[in-house]
Structure 1
Amino acid sequence: MPPVFAQEGHLSATSLVPDGDGGTGTRMTDHEERREALTGTRVLARSTLWNIIGRLGPMVVALLATPLLVHKLGVPRWGVFTLALSLVGMFGVFDFGVGRVLARTVAEHLGEGRGDEAASVVWTGTVLVTIFGVVGALLGSLFVPYLVRSVLTVPPELHRQTILGLYVLAAAGPLIVLNGALWGVMSAFQKFAAANLANIPVLVMYYLGPLAILYVYDSLIGVMAVLVVCRAAITVAYWMICLRSMPALRNARFDLGAIRPMLAFGSWITVSNVIYPVMLYLDRFVIGSLLSVSATAYYATPADLMNRFWLVPIAVMNAVFPAMATEFRADPARTAAMLRRSMIFISATVFPGCLCAIVLPGPLLEIWLGHDFSQHAAPILRWFGIGMFIQCLVFVPAGLLDSLGRFDITAKLLAAETAIFIPLLFLLVSKFGIEGAACAWLIRVSLAFGASLTMAGRLYPPVRAEIWRVLPVLAAGLVLMALPLLASALIVQLALMAFVMLTYLALLWLHSLTMDERRQLGVTFARFARI
């Protein structure tokens, strides 16, 4: 891989590279080579694969370690541990969007050949989020005794170790927000292989570490200390990767002038970060208040199952978002193609799982949770199968809007969705129960997808043709998903599901991919076939 940036004006060298149609090739400047190294299709594919591996590996370990941790901790302390993990995740809101802003800023500077100039912005941003993290940790610590004694139902004999354990965990606060900012910098350089190789062993230790320490020091204090050490290890690894990617960071200075625009962008991201969790869990609280806690369980379980599909769009857009920010000024055609290809890949990947949820919700839930639970939850899984196919695609136009620096549009659309969703949710739940809630959610994600695509096309016209190249196929896919429901026999449904999946992939291949993309994929498939 060539160096990601060089001194301004040092662009005399050129290299001969093959063009997209396999011709004799065109000469690329050093700057164009560096952009290609950050936004090429193969680079983004590798980055996406590493992001998936980085999430799946620790997830498998967590599933295997959970029974052992529950046994060793006991149910009350396990509850505190899971709460601690939730608090760790929620603490990221204290970066006030700076991490996302840094990813875009660095990527845009790289796209313009001004990578060195971003070093001061990165240094300023990391110092800023660290300060935010320290303040947030101190404020959070003040509420720990009240939280343990008055809010949470913690057994009295566990009060002391829970309070001390959460005090220890508060030390991870600055590390959490700093890691988020450093991840943004690494993503701009497409350093996902290095980042995930650093992540995987540390996140594995998130579960194995507490399990090991319990054999030496049977207390939540030791468990929380392990979590802090894990976060510190990630911070060190991230810093090393960032310094290697951006040597100018070693001599960077704090830039007061960068704070205001950074916080201006970040404030809109913070609005989204505050609204989204409310939107994510509001339906469960409404069901619990209007119906029953049991109804909430029947709704939340299939919802949580389908939420696992977010792994795909998150992995893709973590790689594609900084690439879009790098290219949107210099190469609009490539940026637009990134949007189309991302939608094709995401839809093709999640389509089979969503189809299974739509056609076979009863059998799937019966195998997993039993007949009685399946009777109540199967209709909800079907609704979520339809909606998840749509919601996974929302990540793509939303990522494009963010790459353009229009974080305000994302926040405003989310606020508008909330204004529509809340009264609709109460109305449909009161009339149709938990199926009404699922229907309200489906309407919300459909509106979000339509609004995001519309705004993307309006603010960045080059994507319009690419959207229309893929949108009819996505619509056809939704219609095709209903075809197996016309049959009642399971064997016929399975046959129709196979037909639908093959038909959908064929439509994507023939209508949404270009001839050159089909040729390149054909070569790739042929290589795999020879292995």
Structure 2
Amino acid sequence: MQQSLSFKIIKNVAWNFIGNGWLIFLMFFTTPYIVRKLDINLYGVYVLVSTIIGYFGVLQLGLIHASIKYISQYLANDEKDKVRKAFWTCIFMYIIMGTLGTVIIYSFAGYFVQRFLSMPENLKGIAVTAIKIGSIGFLFVMITGVINGALRALLRFDLLNKIVVFFGTLQLLFTVALLYFGYSLTSIIASNVILQFLNIFVYWYYSVKELPCLAKPTFDAPLLLEMLKYGGFISIFSVTEPVLKSSEKIFLSSLWAVSSLTYYYIPQTIISRLAIIPSSVLNVLFPVFSRYHEQKESSINEELFSRSILYLQFIYVYIMFFLLFFGKAFFVLWIGNDFAQNSYNVMSVLAIAGLFNTISQPSSTLLMGFGRPHTLAFINVATTVIYLPVSYLAVKHYGPIGASCAWLFISVLGFFLLSVAAWQSLRFNIAKMCLNILYRILPASVFSLLIYWPLRRFHYPLIHPMTIFGIVLVTGVYFVSIWLWGLDDFARMRIREFFEATVMKFKGLFQRTG
């Protein structure tokens, strides 16, 4: 793998971690306050608003992924006019579909609440108003997705994450401030919509600055049909993905008290936030997979694929161990003992499910980059058909813990199916790759378990000196083990070069400012 490509990938992945990590850091400190100020039931309504609007992602028609793929390929061949056509064709299509989605969500808000949601009568009016306000933001999010897709295709994740950090921070600060001054849910959602609108102009400014060819609008009907052919299968994925991610929440809110949704949603949100681990890597690799597949560089893609699975596992397993052994103490400190009692087991099951989700993501990204969205669509339809009855029965009989077990089941199944499909695309030795991954992660895992397991038996609070010492010790042992036995010489060299370049950059910055 080329040195310049390695450095660029590491740089962009680092920016993704910084951007997403900052927002998780803010969420950690603001969520308890938001839950307390809204109360459990109203926070559940807040969750349901985003869930209902998320179901309309099917109207994206898969064109965001299509635009990134096509723009990446056109940039590789220096076809700027085709880049402009792909960009603006998607923009015009999304204005139409976004407006349609907004009208549907707004018009049927009352029906959604009355027909599908089980909640106190005094909250239904607030829920209807919140959904109507949130529907306006649906159009803005659609347009923003295409514009920032151009920056993704350019591999300008540094710019992308600076914008995400700025607006994400504003959104959380506005939420906390509005609650502090006595405003409620509808005001919070209205402020989010305003920020989404302003977001469009910032993304537009930087996209045109990086690609001046985008300044002049155009439309290409034949190209739209070609992109819809690719995106059509992605749109099937867009139908099944919200079902896979949200159906258990709908079942919980319908079959159980709305408070049970909060006990499930917050652990599930923490695990979903950990999706920054694969997304930080794979958002970078998707345009790279597309570009090198176009140039028939299969060896580069094979190496990127195998390394991405290995490195994602290194990072996630460390976090998973912490959640399994100290998740309950974490919830006690963060939100309270009652919440910890109701949510810890849910968190434990979801943490294991998250591992399978994380290491399956390189396979789905590879399939999209290789122009095989139909395979991804088939797998998602199959898993959705299986998941719906499993999830319903599990939630009906066991509540939040049943929902988490259903998610673990479907995560393992999805990992198996996606791995087989990726093997068919690359024809790598899957047994050899799996054994190599297990060999590299085993020393760090064993050493961590030997420290965590006896420490947990003492039931120390999270901020107890012995707990802190154990976590610090495991962190050191784990990552030293990864450095010695998990990484090869190539990876260690690239990491050293990246940090040396970063240090030199900061030295130069300090010298100029000094």
- Shift of the alpha carbon at 1:185? 1.7
Q: Structure 2: which 5+ runs fail to align?
A: 461-465, 508-514
Larger helix percent: 2
Higher-Rg member (1/2): 1
Which has the bigger relative contact order, CA under 8 A and spacing at least 6?
2
1:234 and 2:199 matched? yes
Larger mean CA deviation between 457-466 and 341-350 belongs to 457-466
Q: Deviations over 1:13-54 (max 9, x none)?
A: xxxxx975xxxxxxxxxxxxxxx5xxx222222222222332
Please give the residue correspondences for 1:482-501 in structure 2 after superposition, counting only pairs within 5 Å: 487=454, 489-490=457-458
Query: Hey, what does 2:147 align to over in structure 1?
Result: 182
Larger mean CA deviation between 324-333 and 414-423 belongs to 414-423
Query: Hey, what does 1:315 align to over in structure 2?
Result: 280
- Distance (Å, rounded) in 2 between the aligned partners of 1:476 and 1:85: 39
- Distance (Å, rounded) in 1 between the aligned partners of 2:132 and 2:340: 42
Query: Hey, what does 1:397 align to over in structure 2?
Result: 363
SS at structure 2 position matched to 1:405: coil
- Shift of the alpha carbon at 1:427? 7.0
Q: Structure 1: which 5+ runs fail to align?
A: 1-17, 21-35
Question: Could you tell me which amino acid in structure 1 is paired with residue 411 of structure 2?
Answer: V
Is the alpha carbon distance of 1:463 and 1:232 closer, same or farther for their aligned partners in structure 2, counting shifts above 3 Å?
Answer: farther
- Distance (Å, rounded) in 1 between the aligned partners of 2:250 and 2:278: 27
Is the alpha carbon distance of 1:260 and 1:240 closer, same or farther for their aligned partners in structure 2, counting shifts above 3 Å?
Answer: same
Is the alpha carbon distance of 1:437 and 1:484 closer, same or farther for their aligned partners in structure 2, counting shifts above 3 Å?
Answer: farther
Query: Hey, what does 2:382 align to over in structure 1?
Result: 416
CA contact (8 A) 2:58 2:236 kept: no
CA contact (8 A) 1:107 1:322 kept: yes
Question: Could you tell me which amino acid in structure 2 is paired with residue 191 of structure 1?
Answer: R
- Shift of the alpha carbon at 1:380? 3.9
Alignment: residue pair count: 495
- Distance (Å, rounded) in 1 between the aligned partners of 2:18 and 2:378: 33
Q: Deviations over 1:220-268 (max 9, x none)?
A: 7765554333122211111122222222223452001012222222222
Question: Could you tell me which amino acid in structure 2 is paired with residue 114 of structure 1?
Answer: E
Residue from 479, 490, 494 that aligns with 1:516: 490
1:340 and 2:306 matched? yes
CA contact (8 A) 2:7 2:498 kept: no
SS at structure 1 position matched to 2:241: helix
Residue from 58, 62, 65 that aligns with 1:97: 62
Query: Hey, what does 1:53 align to over in structure 2?
Result: 18
Question: Could you tell me which amino acid in structure 2 is paired with residue 133 of structure 1?
Answer: G
Is the alpha carbon distance of 1:112 and 1:464 closer, same or farther for their aligned partners in structure 2, counting shifts above 3 Å?
Answer: farther
Q: Deviations over 1:474-508 (max 9, x none)?
A: 77479747666875744999999889877765675
1:266 and 2:231 matched? yes
- Shift of the alpha carbon at 1:190? 1.1
Is the alpha carbon distance of 1:388 and 1:341 closer, same or farther for their aligned partners in structure 2, counting shifts above 3 Å?
Answer: same
- Shift of the alpha carbon at 1:378? 4.1
TM-score (norm 2): 0.78
Residue from 318, 321, 325 that aligns with 1:359: 325
- Distance (Å, rounded) in 2 between the aligned partners of 1:432 and 1:78: 22
- Distance (Å, rounded) in 1 between the aligned partners of 2:467 and 2:300: 40
Please give the residue correspondences for 1:202-221 in structure 2 after superposition, counting only pairs within 5 Å: 202-209=167-174
- Distance (Å, rounded) in 1 between the aligned partners of 2:102 and 2:333: 44
Query: Hey, what does 2:95 align to over in structure 1?
Result: 130
1:406 and 2:372 matched? yes
CA contact (8 A) 2:6 2:494 kept: no
- Shift of the alpha carbon at 1:77? 7.7
Residue from 303, 311, 315 that aligns with 1:349: 315
Is the alpha carbon distance of 1:56 and 1:168 closer, same or farther for their aligned partners in structure 2, counting shifts above 3 Å?
Answer: same
Larger mean CA deviation between 475-484 and 190-199 belongs to 475-484
Question: Could you tell me which amino acid in structure 2 is paired with residue 124 of structure 1?
Answer: T
Q: Deviations over 1:338-384 (max 9, x none)?
A: 22232233222222221123334454445456566655654443333
1:195 and 2:124 matched? no
- Shift of the alpha carbon at 1:405? 1.6
Q: Deviations over 1:381-429 (max 9, x none)?
A: 3333332222211111111111112112112112222344445556777
- Distance (Å, rounded) in 2 between the aligned partners of 1:500 and 1:223: 40
Query: Hey, what does 2:416 align to over in structure 1?
Result: 450
Is the alpha carbon distance of 1:88 and 1:50 closer, same or farther for their aligned partners in structure 2, counting shifts above 3 Å?
Answer: farther
Query: Hey, what does 1:15 align to over in structure 2?
Result: none
Question: Could you tell me which amino acid in structure 1 is paired with residue 99 of structure 2?
Answer: V
- Distance (Å, rounded) in 2 between the aligned partners of 1:94 and 1:185: 20
Q: Deviations over 1:425-458 (max 9, x none)?
A: 5677789886665444333222222221221121
1:140 and 2:105 matched? yes
SS at structure 2 position matched to 1:172: helix
Is the alpha carbon distance of 1:286 and 1:151 closer, same or farther for their aligned partners in structure 2, counting shifts above 3 Å?
Answer: closer
Question: Could you tell me which amino acid in structure 2 is paired with residue 451 of structure 1?
Answer: L
Is the alpha carbon distance of 1:200 and 1:386 closer, same or farther for their aligned partners in structure 2, counting shifts above 3 Å?
Answer: closer
- Shift of the alpha carbon at 1:123? 1.0
CA contact (8 A) 1:54 1:197 kept: yes
Please give the residue correspondences for 1:464-503 in structure 2 after superposition, counting only pairs within 5 Å: 467-468=433-434, 470-473=436-439, 476=442, 480=446, 487=454, 489-490=457-458
TM-score (norm 1): 0.76
- Distance (Å, rounded) in 2 between the aligned partners of 1:266 and 1:126: 14
Query: Hey, what does 1:388 align to over in structure 2?
Result: 354
- Distance (Å, rounded) in 2 between the aligned partners of 1:424 and 1:166: 29
CA contact (8 A) 1:333 1:462 kept: no
SS at structure 1 position matched to 2:294: coil
Is the alpha carbon distance of 1:326 and 1:74 closer, same or farther for their aligned partners in structure 2, counting shifts above 3 Å?
Answer: same
- Distance (Å, rounded) in 2 between the aligned partners of 1:151 and 1:356: 37
- Distance (Å, rounded) in 1 between the aligned partners of 2:20 and 2:312: 16
CA contact (8 A) 1:351 1:501 kept: no
Question: Could you tell me which amino acid in structure 1 is paired with residue 215 of structure 2?
Answer: R
Is the alpha carbon distance of 1:255 and 1:527 closer, same or farther for their aligned partners in structure 2, counting shifts above 3 Å?
Answer: closer
- Distance (Å, rounded) in 2 between the aligned partners of 1:418 and 1:477: 36
Is the alpha carbon distance of 1:247 and 1:368 closer, same or farther for their aligned partners in structure 2, counting shifts above 3 Å?
Answer: closer
- Distance (Å, rounded) in 2 between the aligned partners of 1:380 and 1:140: 31
- Distance (Å, rounded) in 1 between the aligned partners of 2:53 and 2:252: 27
Larger mean CA deviation between 328-337 and 458-467 belongs to 458-467
Question: Could you tell me which amino acid in structure 2 is paired with residue 119 of structure 1?
Answer: R
Is the alpha carbon distance of 1:439 and 1:220 closer, same or farther for their aligned partners in structure 2, counting shifts above 3 Å?
Answer: closer
Query: Hey, what does 2:511 align to over in structure 1?
Result: none
Larger mean CA deviation between 140-149 and 443-452 belongs to 140-149
- Shift of the alpha carbon at 1:180? 1.0
Question: Could you tell me which amino acid in structure 2 is paired with residue 354 of structure 1?
Answer: M
Is the alpha carbon distance of 1:356 and 1:69 closer, same or farther for their aligned partners in structure 2, counting shifts above 3 Å?
Answer: closer
- Distance (Å, rounded) in 1 between the aligned partners of 2:395 and 2:115: 32
- Shift of the alpha carbon at 1:90? 5.0
Is the alpha carbon distance of 1:214 and 1:527 closer, same or farther for their aligned partners in structure 2, counting shifts above 3 Å?
Answer: closer
- Distance (Å, rounded) in 2 between the aligned partners of 1:260 and 1:70: 46
